[in-house]
Amino acid sequence: MKLYTVCLCVLWCLGMVAGQQYAPPTFLWQSLVTPQPYNTGYIYSHNATLKYYSQDFQTVYMSNDNFGHNERVLINLGDACNIKNYNDVQALNNFSIQQFTVSQNLMGLVSRGGCDSWQVKLNNIQSLGQFFQLTGVLLYDNVTYPQSQLIQHNPSTTNTPTWPSSFDPPQRNISLMLDNDLRNYSSYLAVYFAPNEFGTAMLGKLNAYSFGPTVSIAQQQYVQMATYFQEQAMTDNPSPTSSSNGSSSDGGGSLFDTFVGNRGYIAYLVAAGAAIVFGTRKSKT
Ligand SMILES: *[C@@H]1O[C@H](CO)[C@@H](O)[C@H](O)[C@H]1NC(C)=O
Ligand SMILES: *[C@@H]1O[C@H](CO)[C@@H](O)[C@H](O)[C@H]1NC(C)=O
Ligand SMILES: *[C@@H]1O[C@H](CO)[C@@H](O)[C@H](O)[C@H]1NC(C)=O
Ligand SMILES: *[C@@H]1O[C@H](CO)[C@@H](O)[C@H](O)[C@H]1NC(C)=O
Ligand SMILES: *[C@@H]1O[C@H](CO)[C@@H](O)[C@H](O)[C@H]1NC(C)=O
Ligand SMILES: *[C@@H]1O[C@H](CO)[C@@H](O)[C@H](O)[C@H]1NC(C)=O
């Protein structure tokens, strides 16, 4: 009975955490991969790996991306306002969903707009969890701003752009978007916001085909993506046969680096940790 109460408290604390404001990604790492036969993994395409930077990259929910291991394959989910089942997703992806896609962690590429509620979008995406391992969402703006910049660098470059301390115009800030009704919402999905230019660029890379070095028929390529919260040099061309992103360390740096300036989060984590220990001790009696 007491353990149950403690568990509820932990869930409540974690729910509160989910709604906090997180640090924006420093950059988004993006590559193209070709699935290997018999679902034995994938190979990286040559000269297809980039780092993207934008002031408009913002974090809605970080989930556990700060611990790294967040490489995901991108699938198109349209505006996600009415998406209900597997076939809806197939249609939005030109029927390119295959066994490979289903076995990977996925990031849904979702356009802002179509409905004035991000909750509706996330509810629909979470209900697709019965078909797909959707663990992330990249929501891109339906509005373009001349002030918004999208910069791309080779992965080995560590030249982080500096951005103004505020948005011009302020509406580029997700906190001021009226359709962002996620403040009291909790989600296991990592959710990021990106400028329209980035969403459009990624849409253009979906459903690409390439002739690999050893095959004579064109093979479907998939977009792979990961968020990083600290600058780091990475391999320009991850070895085609390695199943890694070419980085020597994970995407997050240390827990405390990531949460600098967000002490409330740490307080909740400590409280949640203490509650778990307390609950475990109690349950042994
Ligand atoms: C990869 O990029 C380098 C540098 O831009 C270029 O010299 C090379 O030809 C490219 N290789 C392929 C296979 O496209
Ligand atoms: C990148 O690859 C490394 C080495 O395989 C792995 O530890 C790390 O989790 C990967 N990072 C992401 C963001 O997937
Ligand atoms: C963009 O989406 C918002 C939120 O749904 C909506 O109010 C706005 O009209 C849309 N703008 C365009 C240009 O589609
Ligand atoms: C975005 O808006 C929030 C809430 O008004 C504010 O605290 C934050 O500083 C803004 N961020 C930027 C980069 O302007
Ligand atoms: C979130 O919940 C608080 C307290 O219940 C409420 O005052 C606030 O209006 C809610 N915010 C949103 C955006 O729903
Ligand atoms: C859809 O897939 C077919 C092959 O199945 C391809 O020929 C076509 O170019 C693709 N269309 C788009 C818009 O990606």
Co-location of 34 and 11 in the same domain: no
More confident residue, 202 or 45: 202
**179 alpha carbon, closest ligand:** 3
Q: Which domain holds residue 174?
A: 24-258
Contact call for residues 81 and 124 (beta carbons, < 8 A): yes
Which residues surround ligand 6 with Cβ inside 6 Å?
94, 207
pLDDT, one tens digit per residue, over 241-261 is 655 544 433 333 333 333 322
Co-location of 140 and 5 in the same domain: no
- The Å distance, Cα 46 to ligand 1 centre, comes to 8
Co-location of 144 and 267 in the same domain: no
- Residue 260 exposed, middle or buried by CB count within 10 Å (0-12, 13-18, 19+): exposed
- The Å distance, Cα 274 to ligand 4 centre, comes to 32
- What mean pLDDT comes out for the span 163-191? 95
Co-location of 169 and 183 in the same domain: yes
Co-location of 14 and 142 in the same domain: no
Co-location of 66 and 98 in the same domain: yes
Lowest mean pLDDT among 22-36, 87-101, 211-225: 211-225
Q: 10 Å Cβ neighbour count for 22?
A: 23
Q: How many domains does the chain have?
A: 2
**207 alpha carbon, closest ligand:** 6
Co-location of 10 and 36 in the same domain: no
Q: How confident is the model at residue 83 (pLDDT cuts 50, 70, 90)?
A: very high
Candidate from 75, 90, 92, 94 with most ligand 6 atoms within 8 A of CB, to mutate: 94
Co-location of 196 and 245 in the same domain: yes
The predicted pLDDT at position 266 comes to 36
Contact call for residues 50 and 236 (beta carbons, < 8 A): no
Co-location of 147 and 278 in the same domain: no
CATH of the domain at 70: 3.50.30.30
The residues with which 224 forms a beta bridge, in sequence order, are: 31, 73
Co-location of 64 and 6 in the same domain: no
Distance of CA 237 to the CA centre of its chain: 22
- The Å distance, Cα 179 to ligand 3 centre, comes to 9
The H-assigned helical ranges of the chain are 2-18, 86-92, 99-103, 118-127, 196-205, 255-258, 263-284
**Which residue type sits at 161?**
P
- What mean pLDDT comes out for the span 151-172? 97
Phi-psi region of 224 (alpha: psi -120 to 50; beta: other; left: phi over 0): beta
Co-location of 267 and 199 in the same domain: no
Any ligand 3 atom below 6 A from CB of 181: no
Co-location of 222 and 107 in the same domain: yes
Which residues surround ligand 1 with Cβ inside 6 Å?
46-47
